[in-house]
Amino acid sequence: MTTFHYTDIEEYWQNSRGTGMRRWLDALSTDQIEQTKTAFVSRTQPQTRPDGIYLDATALLAVATR
């Protein structure tokens, strides 16, 4: 597991736009973007500290051979 640190919602948003989610994020209207950011801030309150947002992430990987 790793922990990602973002100083604020804008840093998180810009980082998210650098992933495969960019296509969907860029298709949102201005109102939808604001609603999404507001929901994110609300949902990440438990992970928010004075110096930013800390999100734990676990990579799930599988390898198979035949």
Beta strands in 1-66 (DSSP E): 2-6, 48-49, 52-57
pLDDT band for position 1 (cuts 50, 70, 90): confident
Statement: residue 61 has pLDDT above 90: no
Residues 57, 3: Cα–Cα separation, whole Å = 6
Within 10 angstroms of residue 38's Cβ, the number of other Cβ atoms is: 11
pLDDT of residue 5: 98
pTM of the entire predicted model: 0.79
The pLDDT tens digits of the residues spanning 6-53 come to 999 999 999 999 999 999 999 999 999 999 999 999 999 999 999 999
Return the DSSP state at 58: -
Domain boundaries along the sequence of the chain? 2-57
